[in-house]
Structure 1
Amino acid sequence: MTATQLSPGSVRKTAAGATAPGRRRALDRYLNPALGVLGVAVVLAAWQICASTGVVDPKFSSSPSGAFRALVDSFTSGDVWSPLGSTLSIVAWGMLISIVAAIPLGLLIGRNRVLYALTDPLISIMYSVPYVVFLPMLIFWFGIGADARVVIVVWSAMFPLLINVIAGARNLEQSHLQVSRVFCASRLTTLRSVAFPATLPYILAGVRQAVGRALIGAIVAELFMGSAGLGYVVQLKTSNFQTDDAMAAIAVIAIIAVLLNHGVAYLEQRLTFWSRTD
């Protein structure tokens, strides 16, 4: 038997080839955020130039410098905290209700053919039809208080999460189900110990979509029926032609959206690392 001889050059090439994907991932980790910041900076610079040169009227379109001053003033004066807390509380309650309802319901529907056939058309309709068209009826049913806003947030957030959970439950690997049958696991045990962990990537992907839609629902509800919250501030300041203050409130909404999205993405990366193929 002869031993295989490896030359130093082939070893170096193998090591370089092994570390190349790691280097590319590390480069992408810093390059993508940098490019994103650069894109935002280009848009803001173009907006500022248009406002400064008179291409657009700052009285109606505001400007980055004016919006930034209004944003700083809102934080230093404390005017932003009350509407910010109102919006976040509505989003939190809506997401809590959506998660508690959608995850077990989606697992049940996804693992039952009859329930899936019965509910799939209804879920598709409720997801596809804009909830804004139901606002007049929701106002009649729930009024214009916090309850109505929570209903709109739940409507916005629940269906994308529900659809993702159902898709995950319907795409379970047969080997997982065979193991549960071998151990004579009940349906409830199978859902809890097999279906739920296996569908966790789908669940977190649905939560990521639901968070964004929940924030949109909260802002829309505050625009139409709110007396508090960031959406109400945008509507009030815009109607009074205080565009700098309105853009400052919109900037706060954008910051919240980015933080929520990246927060859920971080959880998704940490909790479902085993499901990635790269």
Structure 2
Amino acid sequence: MLLKNLNEGSKIVLKDSYSRNGSLLKIFRKVYEVFYNLLAVFVFIGLWEFISRLEVINPVFLPPFSKIVSAFLGLFISGDIYVNLFISIQRSFIGFFAGLAVAIPLGLIIGWFKRFERFIDPLMQTFRNLSVLALLPVFVLFFGIGETSKVIVIAWAVTWSVLINTISGVKNVEPQLIKAARSMGVSNLSLFKTVIFPGALASIYTGVRLGATSSILVLIAAEMLGANEGLGYLLYLYQSNMKIPEMFSIIIILALLGLLVNYSLVGVEKKLFKWKERA
């Protein structure tokens, strides 16, 4: 009896030790994965610091990364960045949702009505291939240098990626699902709500992700021309005044903002479309 109790006790101890070791191993693997994913970034920063310190490139134009970090922190400590950051996010946000409000309904209509698609496609392809920056003076001419022209430029850039992906999503809905719904006597409106739109949603969301990135990229160009507030304005101001560490700090803020938006949308996508991973 005593031996049996000792054996059972030793088994419990071994199980606890195995579970602890297993959890520690999982934590170690997670830390390793994070480090490995960021390794290229660390190597890039190290090379940047090394090249600048050796003056392979003039440090006036490429200051050491440590100086840029110092300038980056200084912008937040002084509070100079907050108002401009908020204004840029606000412009990007408004332009982004304005683009979605146009692109998604229009894409659903074009994707569903084939004759309308054939009619509108040449004009749509022409506009889609126009450079946003080339159109910026036109928007300024029509809407002035105020907020309206900047928001419209952003909305224009967002519209095309969302529009094309929405059309593609509608056209690529499984035909068997449509036939099955029609055989059950479903009306066109119900078919659209229950089959077409849900089937196109994954493709639409891909366009939304691309549009979110475009809204930030185009925002900077819009703010560099005819603005007195915003991250794009600060970027141009620091470059004009040869405040190079501060200029690179703004570029880093923009990169971090883009990464935050992208990975946030990726996280939402994984939760909304779990079936894609299973497939």
Q: Say yes or no: TM over 0.5.
A: yes
SS in 2 for 1:151: helix
1:210-249 equivalences under 5 Å are: 210-249=211-250
SS in 2 for 1:121: helix
TM-score in terms of structure 1 length: 0.85
Q: Aligned partners of 1:32, 1:141: CA distance in 2, in Å? A: 51
- Note closer, same or farther for the CA distance 1:32–1:227 as it changes in structure 2 (3 Å cut): farther
Q: How far apart are residue 267 of structure 1 and its match?
A: 1.2
What is residue 192 of structure 2 aligned with on the other side? 191
Partner amino acid, structure 1, of 2:71: A
Q: How far apart are residue 50 of structure 1 and its match?
A: 1.2
What is residue 271 of structure 1 aligned with on the other side? 272
- Note closer, same or farther for the CA distance 1:31–1:96 as it changes in structure 2 (3 Å cut): farther
Which range moved further: 242-251 or 122-131?
122-131
Q: How far apart are residue 189 of structure 1 and its match?
A: 2.4
Q: How far apart are residue 248 of structure 1 and its match?
A: 0.7
**2:37 pairs with 1:67:** no
Partner amino acid, structure 1, of 2:93: A
Q: How far apart are residue 163 of structure 1 and its match?
A: 0.2
> What is the RMSD of the two structures over their aligned residues, measured on CA atoms?
2.0
What is residue 55 of structure 2 aligned with on the other side? 54
Which range moved further: 225-234 or 240-249?
225-234
Q: How far apart are residue 192 of structure 1 and its match?
A: 2.1
What is residue 154 of structure 1 aligned with on the other side? 155
Partner amino acid, structure 1, of 2:103: A
Q: How far apart are residue 104 of structure 1 and its match?
A: 1.6
Q: How far apart are residue 194 of structure 1 and its match?
A: 1.5
Q: How far apart are residue 48 of structure 1 and its match?
A: 0.8
Q: How far apart are residue 29 of structure 1 and its match?
A: 7.9
**2:253 pairs with 1:256:** no
TM-score in terms of structure 2 length: 0.85
What percent identity do the matched residue pairs reach? 27
Aligned residues: 253
- Residue pair 1:200, 1:272 contacting (<8 A) in 2 also: no
Give CA deviations for 1:31-55 in whole Å, capped at 9, x if unaligned. Answer: 7653441111111111111111111
User: Which runs of no fewer than 5 residues in structure 1 stay unpaired?
Assistant: 1-25
- Note closer, same or farther for the CA distance 1:47–1:264 as it changes in structure 2 (3 Å cut): same
**2:177 pairs with 1:176:** yes
Give CA deviations for 1:210-266 in whole Å, capped at 9, x if unaligned. Answer: 111111111110112222111110000000000011111111100000000001111
- Residue pair 1:84, 1:229 contacting (<8 A) in 2 also: yes
What is residue 115 of structure 1 aligned with on the other side? 116
SS in 1 for 2:80: coil
Q: Which has the larger radius of gyration?
A: 2
Q: Aligned partners of 2:111, 2:33: CA distance in 1, in Å? A: 36
SS in 2 for 1:199: helix
Give CA deviations for 1:124-181 in whole Å, capped at 9, x if unaligned. Answer: 2222221111122111111111111101101111100100010000011112212331
Q: Aligned partners of 1:169, 1:82: CA distance in 2, in Å? A: 41
SS in 2 for 1:144: coil
User: Which runs of no fewer than 5 residues in structure 2 stay unpaired?
Assistant: 1-26
Partner amino acid, structure 1, of 2:269: E
Give CA deviations for 1:7-62 in whole Å, capped at 9, x if unaligned. Answer: xxxxxxxxxxxxxxxxxxx9998776534411111111111111111111222223
